[in-house]
Chains A and B, each alone.
Chain A
């Protein structure tokens, strides 16, 4: 079972906080990978918020291919951040880790953001396809104000490897996952967090309903619903599908993945709509065991469990800084000064929602909504 640390704050902080929290949960991850997604970036990226950032890894050959393609598409490179790699035993260094900030092609500059989002995603997908067979290009996200880093190895060692301890990268929302590889291969694209068009999730546990969900998503006709090297990637796409594509308020994410029973639906004021959703989105129902942590483009973070609460999770913190963790020890490490009696252990009907800038935490209850 993977270990998850998500921190949302009104101030910029270093991903080392997440990594050190993961270190306290070390018995729960086996060094098969670390994934980091940073949103609302500080430091060097603070002034570049409106420009998309392409995060990924390339071989030498892949870099040439990538640059040529981005040139051809008309993307102009404004800034490229590269971690200073420190060789660490056990981590096989790849040629080129990068987060490149691009300006949109001229003809796209005035287009609405929704259309730009499609361009960014399609570009990422094309690059992924170009470099997937020979593993010359890995691209994890291409979106404004978001950076994703992934590598195979122990989280603490990887942070040393990337030099994250030098306080270079900072953000207001950082998700990190320490992988416990289970039934799928150790592969970078299988590493959480998963990101699509501003929506991001990471999950622990397996997803027993993976195949019907994957088939349903892939048949929606949306090109971004692909990949699925991990059975957890669908959680991110369900979020994107329900909130962005269908326009549902975020709480319906919980209603989709863990639908209420008919008699429970009758208690809800939106019972008519909920009844339709229960049937129409039946293939997206999960059975766990899962705990999902995610964020949406506005910086809202949330945590939900499967309908039997088969995986743990805790949310706690102080005003201006909250952490959403798979284990309490991680929370103690990150925000020791909080009032731990106010920690929230979401139960099967709960969705814990932390508002942007970590202003407030609210527990939305599916039964009493």
Chain B
């Protein structure tokens, strides 16, 4: 029978907590109602509530349980899909009594509902695939034993270094013999492209704006320390978001790769600073694509465009800053690659390697071949599907893109066919260290043919305790509410992050990776040069994968 009010009983458009990706487990008996959890929750997924409930009480000299009805205070999970629990567990972090924690709900139906208003689910993070990636299935199986004694990672000298920059083939070196020695033949007029020696693990492009000031500053300090004190030439890419003019004018700029992307944000300021620069940046990266969201542009949301960001990017405050999916002024690969690379090279006096970055794709070889014929192209960075981003549609993150392993391998083998494997370095990115195996993933990609790898997400996780994982945990980068203070411009949030600690952790991470790389290379008998393309060192436990990667199968 219908209620007399005339209202229908419609529960169909309300969700139960079981549809949500994380269910908040709250323990009434432990909670002291301090309210810290509800205050800290970045998504408003829990709220304090007042209830009138029947409870069992015992008391008195001879306690006897008895039911009473009373008003009580509880912490309740919100059943609004916009305020879903992201599983970040900040509530657990702040709770003094371990009274609350989110629990992953594998039966969740989140994607069935997270499109209210006709808008697809947008988030930060990377492809949420908790499975074992190809990189983690690769094993190093060529162990030096008896016939070729293994090297000692602790005692022997190792040189874990790589290059970015176009390396002339030996046949084209402008050399001549004088008195039994080789000298450069200056009369040849041959252009010798600039090359930089780097540590093979680079810090991938994360912009000022996407990252909080504290996070970016921490990484920058760590990079400078690694170079100047530890002597490890780690370079870091600025991402598309400009570069602080003061840093640009300093000598530290040589540890940074400046990125130009389709929005050209910050480049007005960079170009105006050029005459005042005392040193060159490590390289220029032209971003054509991003592994996390191939074919999609970038977006820095208005709330993140605070004064600092607006100044660096040369835009008004608090406006959305979209970067188009492609460089709008270019219509062909000749335009976008050749002219852009040459223009950037010319602007910087041909002293700086200029290379493009593309997202992993089956068409990577077409780009590669174009670059192989362009004497100014300094490298090719390929960003695989497991790369991270500050903001993208979930569908782009989860479903678009190409895994990095086979993409790098086929590009390397294509260069081998042309004899250009040492000429055009390949930089691999996207999912390196996804399961924590930074050095192993990097070494595997190097042996598949990469000259270096670029890492972003792992660095955020390891240096600033980013919470994201492959179960859609947190992934709030796009909202500006990063609970760790990594991807936010809200001072109340980013002051949670100590830039000195970030720098310290970065140094630890890179030093540990350096040791681990030696521990991988030493038993394989390699120490002097990076074992780029040493595919006989690798095996995988899947025949099809082994065949595709042209490595051995081992089980």
A contact residues vs B (CB 8 Å cutoff): 1, 182-183, 205-206, 208-212, 215-216, 219-221, 245-249, 251-252, 258-259, 261-262, 269-270, 272-274, 276-277, 279-283, 285-289, 307-308, 310, 369
Residues of A within 8 Å of B526, CB to CB, are 208-209, 287
Q: How far is the CA of A273 from the CA of B170 in the complex (A)?
A: 11
Q: How far is the CA of A272 from the CA of B183 in the complex (A)?
A: 7
Residues of B within 8 Å of A279, CB to CB, are 163, 167, 195
Interface centre among B151, B159, B175, B528 (most CB of A within 10 A): B528
Closest chain B residue to A182, Cβ basis? B147
Q: How far is the CA of A212 from the CA of B449 in the complex (A)?
A: 9
A219 CB contact (under 8 Å) in B181, B182, B419, B535 = B419
Check B181 against A273 for contact (C-beta < 8 Å). yes
Q: What sequence of 0s and 1s flags, for each residue 125-159 of chain B, a beta carbon within 8 Å of any chain A beta carbon?
A: 00000000000000000101001110100001101
10 CB contacts below 8 A, A to B, read A206-B148, A208-B144, A208-B148, A208-B524, A208-B525, A209-B534, A246-B170, A269-B181, A285-B528, A308-B527
Q: How many A-B residue pairs have CB under 8 A?
A: 126
Check B536 against A210 for contact (C-beta < 8 Å). yes
Residues of A within 8 Å of B419, CB to CB, are 216, 219-221
Chain B nearest CB from A204 CB (Å) reads 10
Q: How far is the CA of A216 from the CA of B534 in the complex (A)?
A: 11
Q: What sequence of 0s and 1s flags, for each residue 164-178 of chain B, a beta carbon within 8 Å of any chain A beta carbon?
A: 000111110101010
B180 CB contact (under 8 Å) in A249, A280, A283, A285 = A249
Chain B nearest CB from A233 CB (Å) reads 15
Q: How far is the CA of A211 from the CA of B446 in the complex (A)?
A: 13
Chain A nearest CB from B256 CB (Å) reads 21
Check B421 against A206 for contact (C-beta < 8 Å). no
Q: How far is the CA of A308 from the CA of B192 in the complex (A)?
A: 31
B182 CB contact (under 8 Å) in A205, A252, A283, A287 = A252
Closest chain B residue to A241, Cβ basis? B170
Check A274 against B182 for contact (C-beta < 8 Å). yes
Chain A nearest CB from B422 CB (Å) reads 5
Residues of B within 8 Å of A249, CB to CB, are 177, 180-182
Chain A nearest CB from B531 CB (Å) reads 7
Q: How far is the CA of A270 from the CA of B173 in the complex (A)?
A: 14
Residues of B within 8 Å of A282, CB to CB, are 163, 167, 422, 529, 532
Given A219-B416, A280-B168, answer yes or no on A273-B184 (Cβ-Cβ < 8 Å): yes
Closest chain B residue to A206, Cβ basis? B148
- Interface size on B, as a range, is 35 or more
Check B524 against A212 for contact (C-beta < 8 Å). no
B417 contacts the other chain (CB 8 A):
yes
Q: How far is the CA of A215 from the CA of B409 in the complex (A)?
A: 14
Residues of A within 8 Å of B171, CB to CB, are 245-246
Residues of A within 8 Å of B82, CB to CB, are none
B12 contacts the other chain (CB 8 A):
no
Q: How far is the CA of A282 from the CA of B536 in the complex (A)?
A: 18
Check A287 against B416 for contact (C-beta < 8 Å). no
B527 CB contact (under 8 Å) in A182, A280, A287 = A287
Residues of A within 8 Å of B184, CB to CB, are 272-273, 276
Chain A nearest CB from B181 CB (Å) reads 4
Given A219-B417, A249-B181, answer yes or no on A1-B147 (Cβ-Cβ < 8 Å): yes
New contact pairs (4) apart from A249-B180, A280-B167, A307-B528, CB-CB < 8 Å? A206-B525, A208-B148, A221-B419, A273-B175
Q: How far is the CA of A38 from the CA of B149 in the complex (A)?
A: 32
Residues of B within 8 Å of A247, CB to CB, are 177
Which residues of B from 491 to 528 have beta carbons under 8 Å from A? 524-528
Residues of A within 8 Å of B159, CB to CB, are 261
Given A211-B536, A246-B171, A269-B181, answer yes or no on A258-B528 (Cβ-Cβ < 8 Å): yes
Check B181 against A270 for contact (C-beta < 8 Å). yes
Residues of B within 8 Å of A289, CB to CB, are 148-149, 525
